[in-house]
Amino acid sequence: MTSLSFELDEIDSKIIDLLQKDGRMQYKQISQIVGVSIPTVRERIKRLSELGLIKKFTVVTDYTKIAGRVRAIVVAKVMPNVQELRDALDSIDEVRVAYQVAGDKSIVLHVESDDLEHLDLTLNKLYELGVKDVTVYVITRVLKEEYGAMVKPNVPLQYRCAFCDCVIYGKPIIKHYYGGKYYFSGEECAKAFKERLDKKIQKQTL
């Protein structure tokens, strides 16, 4: 079987772990902790970004500091095509995270609203999209919340085609469309994805 595209080493995993703890950490600090040169740190971070493992550098906010904020876990079934639902969820800012899962319920959503009334409005939007058998769990207290991923050395990176969702073996085809980076298993998938994305963008601009 053809191997997966790339494999991380110990230096990669240490750099990622440090950046996940503090995205503002300077190259000099990282180099001292990891035990490599500053140019090595710079090139490793550049490579990890190009590979898509580092998606972006951002700020993690504490929602508990925002008065009245309500967060909830929504578990439900999906009636429409999952791809159609994924596209529709892009327009609902209150849905912060969406997972497709196995089991009786097919999706798990992390929803954040200004208050309970706005949470109900968000649920109504989901009903209009064909989501049914909804169960809502309002989060009352955070016991543990980690961001990012557990990255260990000698673990291969796995890519899925943005169009057909198949695992990509070998080197993925990377395309940049409308400011986003996408990975494909072949040029045909890239072309079909671009056509679908063009239609979506045109529809939004009408």
Name the more confident of 167 and 65. 167
* Residue 36 included in any domain: yes
> What's the confidence (pLDDT) of residue 44?
95
Over residues 77-96, the pLDDT tens digits come to 987 677 778 888 988 999 99
Instruction: Categorize the per-residue pLDDT at 204 as very low, low, confident or very high, splitting at 50, 70 and 90.
Output: confident
CA-CA distances (angstroms) from residue 6 to 15, 50, 53, 107, 168? Answer: 16, 12, 11, 30, 11
> What's the confidence (pLDDT) of residue 80?
63
> What's the confidence (pLDDT) of residue 157?
85
The two three-digit tokens of residue 38, written as one number: 């500053």
> What's the confidence (pLDDT) of residue 1?
39
How many domains is the chain built from? 3
Q: Average pLDDT over the chain, rounded to whole?
A: 88
The pTM score is 0.71
CA-CA distances (angstroms) from residue 58 to 147, 148, 157, 161, 185? Answer: 11, 11, 22, 25, 29
Range of the domain at 124: 65-138
DSSP for 74-139, please give it.
EEEEE-S-HHHHHHHHTT-TTEEEEEE-SSSS-EEEEEEESSHHHHHHHHHHHHHTTEEEEEEEE-
Q: Does residue 175 share a domain with residue 126?
A: no
> What's the confidence (pLDDT) of residue 5?
57
What is the rounded CA–CA span in Å between residue 26 and residue 70? 35
* Residue 48 included in any domain: yes
